[in-house]
Structure 1
Amino acid sequence: MRIGGRPRLRCGTCCAAFRVSFYWAEAEAEAEAEAEADDGGGPVPLHLTDKINDFRRRMRGTWSDTPRCVALQGEVGREVGCAIYPQRSSTCREFEAYTEACNRARAK
């Protein structure tokens, strides 16, 4: 089954357990700066992120005491999907299931 063209997943714990930050250029360019080739232009929707500093951005919702990425849809542990799956950051792309970090999050 698919949710909006994305594979349906059951877990989603990583999306509701960790802080997600990434290099600023992975986010879409700001409208007024789109003409500059070195200003963003990545796939992550800018409106779903917050600026940390000049070099890093983070996914909204992941820097709270109870993190949950704003792009996560559904109920963790039952049926979830990522609203921006094809556009997700390298941090999300590189996170592997069943690793120590994954198992730690699932144990919570």
Structure 2
Amino acid sequence: MTNSVRSICERCGACCASYRVDFHPSELAKIAGGAGVPVAMAIPLTPKLMRMKGTDDVAPRCIALQGEIGRQVGCCIYEHRPSPCHEFNPWAALGMVDAACDRARLRHGLRPLSELQKSELQAISKPA
């Protein structure tokens, strides 16, 4: 993730409090040689599927999310987050805003990135 994308995400966090995060058990720290999701932060769904705690609640919020959505957030396991989190990006192919990012932002009362002017995007792209 580039610094500008990371800074946008660090001022948002809406995706971490909007979607379920399911992943394969091989991404758990105990199986991945310590470089994975801590077992205490996940719940088993099936023998081949884990879910981050908090992401299946009525008002989802990943257990690893810290801070205030829309202001300043961070992931306490950022370097070891599961693959769906690695793959989620506010920018889809061709540099366009990803619709899932816009939906998550709307759920939390934040303006969708697709509606922001270039100058506004540049302002929130600067490191916090």
Which bin holds the TM-score, normalised by the shorter protein?
Answer: 0.7 to 0.9
Alignment match, 2:12 = 11
Structure with the higher fraction of residues in helix conformation: 2
Runs (5+) with no aligned partner, structure 2: 1-5, 91-96, 108-128
Matching of residues 1-108 of structure 1 within 5 Å: 9-29=10-30, 40-41=31-32, 43-97=36-90, 98-108=97-107
How far 1:92 sits from its partner (Å)? 0.1
Q: For the aligned residues, what is the CA RMSD?
A: 1.7
Deviations 1:8-52 (A, max 9, x none): 8100000000011011110122xxxxxxxxxx2251111100001
Deviations 1:46-73 (A, max 9, x none): 1100001000101000011100001000
Alignment partner, residue 34 of structure 1: none
Greater fraction strand: 1
Q: What letter corresponds to residue 18 of structure 1 in structure 2?
A: Y
Q: Distance in 2 between matches of 1:27 and 1:56?
A: 11
User: What is the aligned-residue identity percentage?
Assistant: 45
Matched residue SS, 2:66: strand
CA distance, structure 2, for counterparts of residue 12 and residue 27 of structure 1: 22
Q: Given the two structures, how large is their TM-score scaled by the length of structure 1?
A: 0.80
Moved over 3 A (4+): none
2:94 alignment partner in structure 1: none
Superposition TM-score, scaled by structure 2 size: 0.68
